[in-house]
A and B are shown apart, each in its own frame.
Chain A
């Protein structure tokens, strides 16, 4: 204690985060006793107070001097040729500043992949879905925008539309895109091992077909963007999941250098994949700003969000398996058909993900994956939480339960027999390091009281079901082709050493990346999270980060922040060595205290003292960090998709009670056991699991975007499109298989945000089957469908 007390005066410089002096051991061997001080701790959110008090600004809250308002005009038809557009009446309305159509904007097509750039800023010849953008207005206020939109006269030649993806390739179907015959957007045929042989030699072969529905991310914050283009500089504030991707695509669209485009993201009110691509809001807003000389705020209302969509693809999933008598998977065949909507959007990745991720949780060597992604005259689908994986996984987990039943094997037992082992490769070339799926299976069996419930049976109408899940901890390849590092970060220490500012362009869409990046930087520096400030979401200020998608940020930006922090720490220890007359190698810095490892009684210094001294001697104390994903995966076409440096694994179970008279499903309890490595922030981790499960259960039972016969959305609102409320969410148990040995990520962490809804649909479906013994082949498993299936089953039994 004496050593610590000697330093008491200097400890008072900690303005915000005080060193936890009382808890320090008598001797300075802190690093042995407290392996982590800043991570594995539920530090409060860095943006928490701003969000709790309403002072935090989202894009729609921003006001600029002289700001004008803009809206997009959507097509009322699913498929129509635009013969002419008359904007003259709209332009006469007082308060209308500009009206633009395709002739006023660049005609360069955009999308995720150069092979499939198929979307225009404004429709040129044809509108391809109800809501497709055909014109835009800029006015002095919102009210005038709506008047102006009504006054634009578009002469359409209505064309027959393709609304059912299952028949989109039929002979007599109209063609949506000229260069995509039979409306086939993408076709994938993967073959690993020898499935024919496996199926020929198997004891048990069966096939199931399941269909998913269209769902929408439905973040609570509507998309908005403010563009301000003056003096050859285009600044865009946007509710985006990636400032860099927006900067790249906006610059590309207008032929600008990336340095001429600045993208800023204020607080973002949820994304879930729906805010990952630039939209007409950014592109048209930019043009309108250049024309009017004003900052222009563009925004979607709730119905327009649904029309813009980019939500989960609906699909038809045919799964066949070949197994031994003991349920060992010998081979798997997956034939998928996806409804991609009118444009590729991010859907080419979805298409590859849908089959690419299937071999993660179970080890089978023979695998055939065929998939076709169709164009239809419906809103484009893209990346929704769990990108491409949840519906196929639902089909596979449902099928596997059917196989287990047919073979007389317990559902958990069949999963154990096929369980992914650590340090293995999947048949499609994904490298797995650590994997605690077997432990997660054991644990879910234990905490759900599975064996007892299976042995003794549950009361009538009740059932229990489970499923496994896995997901990438970051996509192995960047969102567009480039040779930049995957992530970078920079830390600058204030002159007097009392504040560390992290510059990092990760995007916090609610998951808490702004908090964990600071925690990780603080841990690496040996400093304190509470003394951190964050500069983020600005391409002109913070270095490159690709943003929030594929559950990548904690791992990728984590490496960058860790390395930046370690650089600072090395400089601090070097300076401290000079101040303490000790070799830097003998020094350690933890929680802002610098001490000798070999001389426990040597006087300590504070981070602040040393940082200040560094500035006096050498100038700004800065550390930078960078991370690049190593080359991963096999060499077949599409091999990059689903690669990742590291995979998370989990098991989920639900117990349901079904009212046979009404079909009402009550989910009584849910359990999640996660192999998520080192948990950087336990509270945020649990929140991710709750949220992902909640979204998963919502998609399983309630959600569906419904279209009428003309391709118009019938429920483009959160009343008609039913997302779960507080009354629907079951009680929940979080559990973990703790580990720290994953080598590919900083501190052995793993993703949590997306894998957590990978098993949900299967776990709920299997519980419903267990409860009432009915198989419902189409999502959502609504009360009505459950009720009808029960009635049909009863009728069939009565006949017998």
Chain B
């Protein structure tokens, strides 16, 4: 946690944090109560990370922090000082979509799209750790991400396809 801070005329502390997001280091002066989700959205304008509930229920704000999928609304930006964060904006390499993004599009895994960023990051974290997950492992891997549109079926198919495994008709 950053110990570098300044105090404004009202006695409010502002902390200096440096977080590496999608490969780029950003140094910002923030309040202690700034959530990582708000840091990404408000300070860096990376609004791909969504806020659905802000209490860790819905998973819309899932990002990968030091390799692990986390709800960015449940962590202070201060606690991510020095960490490496990957958001949905970092998933595609310049103009080339990640295989998971491609399969999400191909299998109709995106409807309203509001859960998609979090869903994609959970899928990314899952496949990084477990490149050939079973259907049950895929379901468990995205069970912290709520989707109200798709009934999850096409998402499960898309992740199966992204892992290079055969997609069965009834998942």
Q: Are A690 and B151 in contact (CB under 8 A)?
A: yes
How distant is the Cα of A669 from the Cα of B104 in the complex, in angstroms?
Answer: 23
How distant is the Cα of A48 from the Cα of B50 in the complex, in angstroms?
Answer: 16
Q: Are B154 and A53 in contact (CB under 8 A)?
A: no
Stretch of B13-21, B77-85, B112-120 lying at the A interface: B112-120
Chain A residues within 8 Å of B101, by CB = 52-53
Q: Are B87 and A54 in contact (CB under 8 A)?
A: yes
* A269-B112, A690-B150 known; A48-B55 Cβ under 8 A: no
Question: Interface digits, A675-698 against B, CB 8 Å rule (1 contact, 0 not)?
Answer: 000000001101100111111000
Q: Are A686 and B108 in contact (CB under 8 A)?
A: yes
How distant is the Cα of A222 from the Cα of B97 in the complex, in angstroms?
Answer: 28
Q: Are B88 and A53 in contact (CB under 8 A)?
A: yes
How distant is the Cα of A364 from the Cα of B122 in the complex, in angstroms?
Answer: 51
Does any Cβ of B come within 8 Å of A226's Cβ?
no
* Chain A residue nearest in CB terms to B135: A731
Q: Which residues of B contact A (CB under 8 A)?
A: 33, 41, 45-58, 60, 87-89, 91-92, 97, 101, 104-108, 110-117, 120, 138-140, 142-156, 169-171
How distant is the Cα of A603 from the Cα of B88 in the complex, in angstroms?
Answer: 48
Query: Nearest chain B CB to A316's CB is how many angstroms away?
Result: 27
How distant is the Cα of A512 from the Cα of B52 in the complex, in angstroms?
Answer: 21
Q: Are A731 and B152 in contact (CB under 8 A)?
A: no
Q: Are B154 and A687 in contact (CB under 8 A)?
A: yes
Q: Are A54 and B54 in contact (CB under 8 A)?
A: no
Does any Cβ of B come within 8 Å of A315's Cβ?
no
Q: Which residues of A contact B (CB under 8 A)?
A: 42, 44-45, 47-58, 60-61, 63, 143, 217-222, 267-270, 272, 301-302, 509-512, 669, 683-684, 686-687, 690-695, 717-719, 723-727, 729, 731-733
Q: Which of B46, B115, B156 has the most CB of A within 10 A?
A: B115
Chain B residues within 8 Å of A52, by CB = 88, 97, 101, 104-105, 110, 113, 116, 120
Query: Nearest chain B CB to A681's CB is how many angstroms away?
Result: 9
Query: Nearest chain B CB to A653's CB is how many angstroms away?
Result: 13
Q: Which residue of the partner chain, among B45, B110, B148, contacts A220 with CB atoms under 8 Å?
A: B148
* Chain B residue nearest in CB terms to A48: B105
10 pairs of A and B residues whose beta carbons are closest in the complex: A54-B48, A510-B112, A269-B114, A694-B151, A51-B113, A690-B151, A510-B111, A61-B47, A54-B88, A683-B108
Q: Which residue of the partner chain, among B57, B151, B156, B171, contacts A691 with CB atoms under 8 Å?
A: B151
How distant is the Cα of A44 from the Cα of B114 in the complex, in angstroms?
Answer: 18
Some 16 contacts from A to B, beta carbons below 8 A apart, are: A45-B110, A52-B101, A52-B105, A53-B48, A58-B50, A302-B54, A510-B114, A683-B107, A683-B154, A684-B108, A693-B151, A717-B55, A718-B53, A724-B152, A725-B146, A725-B152
Beyond contacts A221-B52, A221-B114, A687-B154: 8 other A-B pairs, Cβ-Cβ < 8 A, are A53-B101, A58-B47, A217-B148, A220-B148, A687-B150, A690-B151, A723-B146, A724-B152
A-B contact count (CB 8 A): 176
How distant is the Cα of A302 from the Cα of B51 in the complex, in angstroms?
Answer: 10
Q: Are A270 and B112 in contact (CB under 8 A)?
A: yes
Q: Which residue of the partner chain, among A509, A717, A726, A733, contacts B53 with CB atoms under 8 Å?
A: A717
How distant is the Cα of A684 from the Cα of B112 in the complex, in angstroms?
Answer: 12
Q: Are B148 and A695 in contact (CB under 8 A)?
A: yes
Chain B residues within 8 Å of A50, by CB = 113
Q: Are A726 and B152 in contact (CB under 8 A)?
A: yes
* A56-B113, A687-B108 known; A301-B148 Cβ under 8 A: no
Q: Are B48 and A55 in contact (CB under 8 A)?
A: yes
How distant is the Cα of A510 from the Cα of B151 in the complex, in angstroms?
Answer: 13
Chain A residues within 8 Å of B108, by CB = 42, 45, 683-684, 686-687
* Chain B residue nearest in CB terms to A272: B148
Chain B residues within 8 Å of A690, by CB = 150-154
How distant is the Cα of A732 from the Cα of B152 in the complex, in angstroms?
Answer: 11
Q: Which residue of the partner chain, among B97, B106, B147, contacts A53 with CB atoms under 8 Å?
A: B97
Q: Are A302 and B154 in contact (CB under 8 A)?
A: no
Chain B residues within 8 Å of A48, by CB = 105, 110
Chain B residues within 8 Å of A731, by CB = 153, 170-171
* Chain B residue nearest in CB terms to A55: B48
How distant is the Cα of A222 from the Cα of B61 in the complex, in angstroms?
Answer: 13
Q: Are A732 and B148 in contact (CB under 8 A)?
A: no
Q: Which of A58, A61, A684, A692 has the most CB of B within 10 A?
A: A61
Q: Which of B51, B55, B89, B113 has the most CB of A within 10 A?
A: B113
Query: Nearest chain B CB to A221's CB is how many angstroms away?
Result: 4
Chain A residues within 8 Å of B155, by CB = 726
Chain B residues within 8 Å of A270, by CB = 111-112, 114, 148-149
How distant is the Cα of A723 from the Cα of B115 in the complex, in angstroms?
Answer: 14
Chain B residues within 8 Å of A683, by CB = 107-108, 154
* Chain A residue nearest in CB terms to B87: A54
* A222-B52, A731-B170 known; A694-B152 Cβ under 8 A: yes
Chain A residues within 8 Å of B117, by CB = 54
Q: Are A669 and B50 in contact (CB under 8 A)?
A: no
How distant is the Cα of A695 from the Cα of B106 in the complex, in angstroms?
Answer: 23
Chain A residues within 8 Å of B111, by CB = 270, 510-512, 687, 691
Query: Nearest chain B CB to A683's CB is how many angstroms away?
Result: 4
* Chain B residue nearest in CB terms to A52: B101
Query: Nearest chain B CB to A202's CB is how many angstroms away?
Result: 40
Q: Which of B107, B114, B169 has the most CB of A within 10 A?
A: B114
Chain B residues within 8 Å of A60, by CB = 50-51
Chain B residues within 8 Å of A58, by CB = 47, 50, 114
Q: Which residue of the partner chain, among A45, A220, A222, A692, contacts B115 with CB atoms under 8 Å?
A: A220
Chain B residues within 8 Å of A222, by CB = 51-52
How distant is the Cα of A695 from the Cα of B152 in the complex, in angstroms?
Answer: 11
Query: Nearest chain B CB to A758's CB is how many angstroms away?
Result: 15
Q: Are A729 and B151 in contact (CB under 8 A)?
A: yes
Chain B residues within 8 Å of A51, by CB = 110, 113, 116
How distant is the Cα of A510 from the Cα of B149 in the complex, in angstroms?
Answer: 7
How distant is the Cα of A723 from the Cα of B152 in the complex, in angstroms?
Answer: 12
How distant is the Cα of A691 from the Cα of B112 in the complex, in angstroms?
Answer: 11
How distant is the Cα of A695 from the Cα of B149 in the complex, in angstroms?
Answer: 8
* Chain A residue nearest in CB terms to B105: A48
How distant is the Cα of A53 from the Cα of B171 in the complex, in angstroms?
Answer: 25
Q: Are A719 and B47 in contact (CB under 8 A)?
A: no
Chain B residues within 8 Å of A47, by CB = 113
Chain A residues within 8 Å of B50, by CB = 58, 60, 220-221, 269
